[in-house]
Amino acid sequence: MNIRKILSHTVAASVLAVGAWLPCAAQASVVIAGTRVVYNATDSEVTLKLSNVGKSPALTQVWLDKGDPKADPSTLDLPFVLTPPLARIDPDKAQTVRIAYTGEALPKDRETLFWFNLLEVPPKPAATEAGQNYVQLAFRSRLKFFFRPAGLPGNADDAPGKLTWHLGSQGGKPALQVSNPTPYHVTIIEAHVGEGERAPKFEDGSMVAPGAQASLPLSATPATGGKVSFTTLNDYGGPIKHEAPLQ
């Protein structure tokens, strides 16, 4: 079985168990520089830096998917090439992943969301550990990957200010209904109506797609009217606070 098939099976299993007892070290060694990726159509490529902060070499696989975390990487057909798809990263070393758009048609009037995946497979145990029972974990990270066509009206930084907010319900409980009229995805990490510790809150995080709506369940029923205070993430993953009237 070749290494690509080995890693594909690892994705499906998620966790590799060898033996049934501890000790178990559950900590990823490879970290990604950034929390999201924005690919502007005018760019020839984007790059991501992967750094091994652990004490052992790590084998990594990277790929994009359309939103199904269970999809087999070998069956996906997306208009991007990731180089290198497989890499060994030694301790205290880094690997740059290059992502290039191959030009197949994607919507030109709005962003398209994909997901960047990183699978890290730890090395085999050392010879001194061969007689011990242990659990070996394969770590997987997923980041939002936005493809942004050229010529979209406005800009992503202004999109949160164009959201409209209404009071509604979800499952018989109070909720904020938010509409996104822009061509950009907006990630909301929290929202609340009114002020004070008892203000009705939404704290679970959500994302509103271009031209779509989302329902954000609240912790309590807010008073009629007032304003919504909410926090979004910008292209760099930084939190930005906003206020908007509750319509």
- Per-residue pLDDT tens digits for 130-150: 556 666 678 899 999 999 999
Whether 153 contacts 210, CB under 8 Å? no
Q: What's the pLDDT score for residue 130? A: 57
238: Cβ contacts below 8 Å, ≥ 6 apart: none
Average pLDDT over residues 98-115: 97
Q: What pLDDT shows up at residue 14? A: 41
- Give the model's pLDDT for residue 13: 38
Handedness of CA 82, 84, 89, 95 (dihedral sign): negative
φ, ψ (nearest 5 deg) of residue 114: -125, 180
Mean pLDDT of 165-189: 96
* Poorest-pLDDT segment among 1-10, 73-82, 87-96, 196-205: 1-10
Residue 195: the pLDDT is 86
With a cut of 70, say whether residue 107 has pLDDT above it: yes
Distance CA 173, CA 201 (A): 13
Q: Are 66 and 104 in contact (CB under 8 A)?
A: no
Q: Which candidate, 60, 59, 56, places its Cα nearest to that of 25?
A: 56
Q: Which domains does the chain have, with CATH numbers?
A: 3-148 (2.60.40.10), 156-245 (2.60.40.10)
Strands 46-52 and 94-101: antiparallel
Mean residue pLDDT across the chain: 87
pLDDT category of residue 226 using cuts at 50, 70 and 90: confident
Distance from the first to the final alpha carbon of the chain: 59
Count the alpha carbons within 13 Å of 93 in the hemisphere toward its beta carbon. 11
166 pLDDT more than 60: yes
Tell me: the pLDDT tens digits for 62-88? 999 999 999 999 999 999 999 999 999
Among 110, 49, 114, CA closest to 76:
114
